[in-house]
Amino acid sequence: MFNTLKSLCSKPKAFEKTTVADLWTDPHRATQMLSNHLNPQNDWSSRNHEFINTSVNWIWNYFDLGSESRIADFGCGPGMYTSSFAKRGAKVTGIDFSENSLEYAKSIAQKQSLDITYHHMNYLDFDSNDTFDLITLIF
Ligand SMILES: C[S@@+](CC[C@H](N)C(=O)[O-])C[C@H]1O[C@@H](n2cnc3c(N)ncnc32)[C@H](O)[C@@H]1O
């Protein structure tokens, strides 16, 4: 009896019940996560719009990017950086395993006619032979 009670009260081992991926891909959490990403009032999922614009400007100028530049964003989420780079004329690839964030990102790219290719995949499975050359960025 003691052993049964002990096992019922024991804490699960880390990641025994859920994985880190569940944080992003579980449908309920992913919905909450997307709304946090898109909320300009908070800075703890995506950074605020001003920060994103300032970062993209800095990267664009520092690496002397232009319309021939190809940029890959690993963990692009709803595509706030990918969209911003594409608006400046770069050819952009976004990679993420959150389906609903990617759906949102694709809808924005379509509405705004932005040249962005999105891949639904775990970026840890990315094969460097498929490299998107010139520059890769991780946010
Ligand atoms: C904190 S959010 C940032 C999203 C975006 N970069 C931004 O700043 O707005 C992290 C993103 O990385 C994605 N992510 C985390 N681990 C990943 C993995 N192993 N493969 C693909 N995407 C991943 C999540 O789904 C999520 O969209």
Concatenated DSSP letters of 29-68: HHHHHHHHHH-TT--SSSPPHHHHHHHHHHHHHHTT--TT
Q: How far apart are CA 29 and CA 82, in angstroms?
A: 23
**Most ligand 1 atoms within 8 A of CB, residue of 35, 96, 119 to mutate:** 96
Per residue in 23-76, pLDDT tens? 788 888 888 888 888 888 888 788 888 999 999 999 999 999 998 899 999 999
Share above pLDDT 90 across residues of the chain, in percent, rounded to a whole number: 49
Per residue in 102-135, pLDDT tens? 999 999 999 999 999 999 999 988 876 665 544 5
Query: What number does the ligand 1 atom closest to the CA of 52 have?
Result: 8
Q: How far apart are CA 45 and CA 31, in angstroms?
A: 13
> Which positions ≥6 away from 89 have C-beta within 8 Å?
66, 67
Task: Give the distance (Å) from ligand 1 centre to CA of residue 6.
Answer: 38
Q: Which residue's alpha carbon is at the smallest distance from atom 12 of ligand 1? A: 75
Per residue in 92-108, pLDDT tens? 999 999 999 999 999 99
Q: Which residue's alpha carbon is at the smallest distance from atom 22 of ligand 1? A: 96
pLDDT of residue 129: 65
Query: What number does the ligand 1 atom closest to the CA of 73 have?
Result: 6
Q: Which residue's alpha carbon is at the smallest distance from atom 1 of ligand 1? A: 45
Place of tokens 């949102």: 104
